[in-house]
Amino acid sequence: MVEEKFLVDANSLITPYRLYYAFDLVPSFWDRLSENIGKIVLLDMVKSEIDKGNDDLTVWVNSLKGFEICYHLSQEIVDKWQEVIQYVQTCGLYNENALHSWAQINVADPWLIAAAAVYGYTIITLEGSAGRLSPMNKSGKVKIPDVARAFGVKTNNIFYMMRQLGIKI
């Protein structure tokens, strides 16, 4: 049996840190995450986004030993990223604004999907599906769960990850 690994979107760490699991109020959340660090993966772009905060979350991430960092510029991931961008461009569900915003090389979302597709990770994100997408009413926003589904990539939220890892606070 393959053990599930979680590729964490920046919003799944930044939002809890800022809104409901502050280090001074719920340190047990961060302690339990630390205990499961071998099952949690950060895309290098997500780590960079967290590092820009220059705050307690940055310190926490950088203090952890054994945090697996997935580097987005491996050839396999770059090739899959191109497929992800091509899908968004050709699937007929998104308008030009959506494609333009996602096709920028520094946008982490398509890279998350590419890395998860290559390595079999589950993406943990607070982002939800856009709902029913239709070529008749093209969406201006691309959502991770919708595109991930097209690539057979599993997505879920932080509470799913907590349950899978047995984290109770």
Tens of pLDDT along the chain (169 residues) come to 558 999 999 999 999 999 999 999 999 999 999 999 999 999 999 999 999 999 999 999 999 988 899 999 999 999 999 999 999 999 999 999 998 998 888 999 999 999 999 999 999 999 999 888 889 889 999 999 999 999 999 999 999 999 999 999 8
Cα–Cα distance measured from residue 1 to residue 99, given in angstroms and rounded to the nearest whole number: 37
Cα–Cα distance measured from residue 15 to residue 111, given in angstroms and rounded to the nearest whole number: 20
Q: What phi and psi, each to the nearest 5 degrees, are found at residue 41?
A: -120, 140
Asked if residue 117 and residue 92 are part of one domain, the reply reads yes
Residue 73, SS3?
A: coil
**pLDDT at residue 94, as a whole number:** 94
**pLDDT at residue 159, as a whole number:** 96
Asked if residue 116 and residue 57 are part of one domain, the reply reads no
Asked if residue 100 and residue 31 are part of one domain, the reply reads no
Number of domains in the chain: 2
Asked whether residue 1 is domain-assigned, the answer is: no
Asked if residue 65 and residue 84 are part of one domain, the reply reads no
Asked if residue 89 and residue 56 are part of one domain, the reply reads no
Where in the sequence is the domain holding 134, given as residue range(s)? 75-152
**pLDDT at residue 36, as a whole number:** 93
At 12-48, the pLDDT tens digits run 999 999 999 999 999 999 999 999 999 999 999 999 9
**pLDDT at residue 67, as a whole number:** 84
**pLDDT at residue 106, as a whole number:** 92
End-to-end CA distance of the chain: 28
DSSP state of 38: G
